[in-house]
Structure 1
């Protein structure tokens, strides 16, 4: 008898519940609302200077979906993000505009997103990740909170050599470079051992050069070798380049020169970009950084 009462009581509750549901129509609007992001002056500047002319999104806020959870990362500082956005526009996008005669080249081939992260990212072997590119769609730049806008060498090391490097990947993935390039160093690439194969510091730089690689990282794979030649060449002076060739010596210099001849002709014949003109334009813009107001939007 007791069990029957329990069952009846439950049945009555269900009857009352469904009766209430039938009497009151459920609202079609969700009671859960997402926090709305307030657009600021920088957001509007990005639309005007990146999205509209180049179809590029410039993300400076930390978003889980865009961040690599393999690293412990922090968001980019707002002021540093503004400065870097202006520098990328001036030292990279506008440079290609001048060399190619318009904005279409960047619109067609440059990654559609630049993503900033405030802190450095480190691999398990202790090497710092300067930047990453994903399928030609996004470039992520790390260590933004430490940017020194007046130090051109630091800007190139952390950001602009990386940007030219990753952009060159997109270009050769779109239109492959000659297979003859792959035959020059052949089986000499050291893969993930590049950070230790040549020693450390300046000794590693010298050893890699003498082996025919413009940087130690260039020895990791043939594609990295190809794009490192472009990135190093266009972000440095002719005097710097010649100093690298001199250090490479009688063994490494002929190898690097043979590779660079293929790189130079590829960029000219395939993309109608003269790397000498591109470098001169990059250097001209570097020398004019002091003319920019990097803080005012």
Structure 2
């Protein structure tokens, strides 16, 4: 099953990123890598930092079979790869390993990252910024806009990873049924017509959370982790309805309980480790 992490162009309040254009400068230097070429310094870095310790493959060289063929996409710039993956290691892998342990991470982490320079622009006015295939591969897009000091961009990229990793977790051990019962009438196939404010007022942490309960659950977990306790509370307080605030807090409590009971992970501690790592990385 493929999961897509997408945002609406209409709901600008979700997160605004620079360079939102379908026109991309196609850098062909990384388009057709030579077969059997000797490992580069970049390849060796990936081996030492991802392949050996975590058994994770990083695909950055252009592979037409690893990406959609119905969209115009460009390769990731090679000088972006190490900064991106080093930040991901420090802000996603390290907090999980410290809190949940290396055996947990090795067992459930995705085994492949596919890096793409541009985003996918969809006909319904949304942008695809990440995809996950069968719980094994995460595709990160729009990486050529990466700037480690751009807090919004960094958090959005990490949000995508936490979103997809939370899918892997709930597909292994399902989250409590009462989560689906909190806002059942709010799920809609036209979620992309929802503004962030409308979503919050209805008890959804993002417009995309309205697409279905599974997405709602992982959007909650990923937002709570990337924004930290205080940041998450600020978002909740933007809801102008008592019902919206109450639903968001009830959903957050179910997320915390799920991590503890199903995975023996102290969510508050993981949340603090993650938020601290992000703050240190972007300063």
Q: Do the aligned residues in 2 keep the contact of 1:115 with 1:138 (CA within 8 Å)?
A: yes
1:231-272 CA distance string (max 9 Å, x none): 000111333222222222312111112222211100111111
**Residues of 1 paired with 2:104 and 2:236: CA distance?**
31
Matches within 5 A, 1:271-286: 271-286=263-278
Q: Do the aligned residues in 2 keep the contact of 1:95 with 1:281 (CA within 8 Å)?
A: yes
SS in 2 for 1:281: helix
Q: Do the aligned residues in 2 keep the contact of 1:53 with 1:103 (CA within 8 Å)?
A: no
Alignment: residue pair count: 249
Q: CA deviation at 1:126?
A: 2.1
Q: Do the aligned residues in 2 keep the contact of 1:123 with 1:129 (CA within 8 Å)?
A: yes
Q: CA deviation at 1:290?
A: 6.0
More helix by share: 1
**Residues of 2 paired with 1:39 and 1:128: CA distance?**
34
Larger Rg: 1
**Residues of 2 paired with 1:270 and 1:111: CA distance?**
19
Instruction: From the superposition, tell whether residues 290 and 131 of structure 1 become closer, same or farther in structure 2 (CA, over 3 Å).
Output: closer
Q: What TM-score comes out, normalization by structure 2 length?
A: 0.84
The equivalent residue for 2:112 is: 113
**Residues of 1 paired with 2:158 and 2:82: CA distance?**
16
Is the counterpart of residue 66 in structure 1 residue 66 in structure 2? yes
The equivalent residue for 1:7 is: none
Is the counterpart of residue 155 in structure 1 residue 154 in structure 2? yes
Q: CA deviation at 1:49?
A: 1.2
**Residues of 2 paired with 1:265 and 1:55: CA distance?**
30
Gaps of 5+ in 1: 1-33, 199-203, 292-297
Q: Do the aligned residues in 2 keep the contact of 1:120 with 1:142 (CA within 8 Å)?
A: yes
The equivalent residue for 2:35 is: 35
1:271-297 CA distance string (max 9 Å, x none): 111221111111221222269xxxxxx
Q: CA deviation at 1:52?
A: 1.1
Runs of 4+ in 1 over 6 A off after TM superposition: none
Q: Do the aligned residues in 1 keep the contact of 2:182 with 2:247 (CA within 8 Å)?
A: yes
Matches within 5 A, 1:196-215: 196=193, 198=194, 204-215=195-206
Matches within 5 A, 1:28-177: 35-100=35-100, 102-157=101-156, 159-177=157-175
The equivalent residue for 1:189 is: 187
Which segment is superposed worse, 234-243 or 58-67? 234-243
Gaps of 5+ in 2: 1-33
1:79-123 CA distance string (max 9 Å, x none): 1111111111111111111112x3222210011001100111111
**Residues of 1 paired with 2:113 and 2:245: CA distance?**
35
Q: What TM-score comes out, normalization by structure 1 length?
A: 0.81
Q: Do the aligned residues in 1 keep the contact of 2:148 with 2:282 (CA within 8 Å)?
A: no
SS in 1 for 2:237: helix
Q: Larger relative CO (CA 8 A, sep 6+): 1 or 2? A: 2
Give the alignment's Cα RMSD to 1 decimal.
1.4
